[in-house]
Amino acid sequence: MSNNFEPRNLNLLIGVTGSVATIKLDELIDGFVKKFIHINICIIATKNSLHFIEDFLKFNQKYPILQDRHKLLQSLDSQEPVIFSFSDEDEWSSWSKRNDPVLHIELRKWADVFLIAPLGANTLAKISNGICDNLLTSVARAWDIENINTKPVIVCPAMNTCMFKHPLTKTQLTILSDQFGFTLIDPIEKILMCGDSGIGAMAKTDDIIQKTYDFLKLKNLF
């Protein structure tokens, strides 16, 4: 029996941060498109994440990536996967006067699930303390926490071992899980990009995709 499903399109919002694990974005997109036949994906890229993925967003040939918020709602009934990408500049360039749509609110309404992969130490600290100084953290701050069971947020921490073992990290992750209701996909042990060996690497992309699928299925969200 196939693991794929065929209801309406799932709208997956993926936030990427300044962690080097952001280079796995293409693997995540490819895996989600294969796992969920009917899916739309929107990427929110922080300024620092663009250091790793700017060329991918501009030049990849497999999945043309749109940067037009006006087409976001039109994607709901698309028969093919539609991929969007927005960054901090889009938040401001899309608004000029009162009653104009606000991008971070539009994205929150559009999304069925918000996956932050990777969640670096800096963005973790911001979200856990309510700071909303970019598009990604503004979406997180504006998320409807009262309905977190039907519009979940899933986060995948990724950072250096010493950063992960810092006592603040445990405190901040506990805020996300216990107070905000976010779902955590724990990091793994491996040789990190910096050469250190230890815990802190983002979970394997296949595991992130499968755990996201299993979680959404458990919650009857598709």
Q: In the structure, what pLDDT confidence band is assigned to residue 5 with cuts at 50, 70 and 90?
A: very low
Q: Return mean pLDDT, the chain.
A: 90
Instruction: Quote the domain boundaries for residue 171.
Output: 10-218
Is residue 82 in a domain? yes
Is residue 2 in a domain? no
Structurally, how many domains does the chain consist of?
Answer: 1
For the domain that residue 93 is a member of, what is the CATH number? 3.40.50.1950
- Tell me how crowded residue 55 is: count the other CB atoms within 10 A of its CB: 9
DSSP 206: H
Is residue 5 in a domain? no
Q: In the structure, what pLDDT confidence band is assigned to residue 6 with cuts at 50, 70 and 90?
A: very low
- Provide the sign of the torsion angle of the four alpha carbons 122, 187, 118, 219, taken in this order: negative
Catalytic residues: 194
Per-residue pLDDT tens for 68-122?
766 676 655 566 788 999 999 998 887 777 877 899 999 999 999 999 999 999 9
List the one residue out of 57, 3, 51 whose CA is nearest residue 26.
57
Is residue 137 in a domain? yes
Helix (H, G, I), strand (E, B) or coil at 53: helix
The amino acid at residue 145 is I
Is residue 1 in a domain? no
Residue 210 in this model has a pLDDT that exceeds 80: yes
Quote the tokens at residue 191.
């040789």
Is residue 162 in a domain? yes
Pairing state between β 188-191 and 183-184: unpaired
Is the distance from CB of 154 to CB of 113 less than 8 angstroms? Answer: yes
Q: In the structure, what pLDDT confidence band is assigned to residue 8 with cuts at 50, 70 and 90?
A: low
Using a 10 angstrom Cβ sphere, with 0-12 exposed, 13-18 middle and 19 or more buried, the burial of residue 99 is: exposed
HSE-up (13 A, CA, CB side) for residue 80: 7
Is residue 184 in a domain? yes
Helix (H, G, I), strand (E, B) or coil at 183: strand
- Provide the sign of the torsion angle of the four alpha carbons 43, 207, 6, 221, taken in this order: negative
DSSP 219: T
- Tell me how crowded residue 34 is: count the other CB atoms within 10 A of its CB: 13
